[in-house]
Homo-oligomer: A and B are copies of this chain.
């Protein structure tokens, strides 16, 4: 079986006895080309199964149809959904997306970024890794004129556009709900201190306590991370305290599920002994028993919004840093 070379614009030109520039223009409906010629060229292009070579086109135009996306892990429901939203919006605007995962690893994130830059992506959409402390790789991309927008997990040290949910109000609402249900010793399984998302949810938690005159206790806050293991570790820590908390506000649902595991193992009942509120409304949270009360975080919409924002930055060529905040919603179920 021979490896047929793909038809080029020149092949079409040769076959028709015209210059290849004429073919180029014809395919793009240039007014200088006679309608009949256009029709003829388009027909033979079709029949020769011509597909434009984006490399040559992009090389010439110095612009691509590529958008880079970096997430910690594709398999996580939230990111999978967000990528789905990104792809949807990208498709509408004629882009295709290159997806990389950092596996929550800083080094890998840097490598991904460089690879994407080499592939001359038009813009970059990032939800940063849990282990990332330094944002030089992103800053460099921006400094060279690249358009970047963070979604969900943004890096504070980098001045870039971002799409996030109202983490502050989400944290506030979750905590307030626990308070209104009569909880007094509310613990917080927090994320990592470097991520804005963690800090804002934490701040919402603190401000809710303050508003209702509940003393803030530093030892009721466990800074861990976003994985189930972090929730397990944090819950075990909290149960070692001489006075148990009466409720938990977890930074996200996986962490909350980690807490569930520990509580179940220790024979503690949810919500009678300890109430739990999560964050992100993972589909599992509706199915676990008791169903988890949580803060809904529109993942698909967030991906879509991030891509839309990126597109605006791309077409306007302006360099304003925008911050788009999506609303959250308290989903009341049975864990409180």
Complex interface residues of chain A between 81 and 118 (CB less than 8 A to chain B):
81, 83-84, 87-88, 91, 96-101, 114-118
CB distance from A236 to the nearest CB of B (A): 22
The answer to whether B87 touches A80, judged by C-beta atoms less than 8 angstroms apart, is: no
Task: Tell me the complex Cα distance, A56–B64, Å.
Answer: 12
Which residue on chain B has the smallest CB distance to residue A50?
B118
Contact among B79, B88, B100 with A96 in the assembled complex (CB-CB below 8 Å): B100
Chain A, interface SS category: mixed
Check A145/B4 contact, CB under 8 A, given A51-B114, A75-B81.
yes
CB distance from A206 to the nearest CB of B (A): 32
Query: Chain B residues near A49 (CB, 8 Å)?
Result: 140, 144
The answer to whether B91 touches A84, judged by C-beta atoms less than 8 angstroms apart, is: no
Per-residue B-contact encoding for A20-37, CB less than 8 Å = 1, 0 else? 000000000000000000
The answer to whether A96 touches B80, judged by C-beta atoms less than 8 angstroms apart, is: no
CB distance from A268 to the nearest CB of B (A): 19
The segment from A163-171, A191-199, A218-226, A280-288 that touches chain B is A280-288
Contact among B97, B101, B288 with A287 in the assembled complex (CB-CB below 8 Å): B288
Which residue on chain B has the smallest CB distance to residue A119?
B54
Contact among B3, B59, B96, B289 with A98 in the assembled complex (CB-CB below 8 Å): B96
Contacts beyond the supplied A54-B120, A96-B115, A99-B99: 13 A-B pairs with Cβ under 8 Å: A49-B140, A53-B120, A55-B59, A66-B98, A75-B81, A77-B80, A84-B101, A87-B100, A96-B100, A96-B119, A98-B99, A284-B284, A289-B289
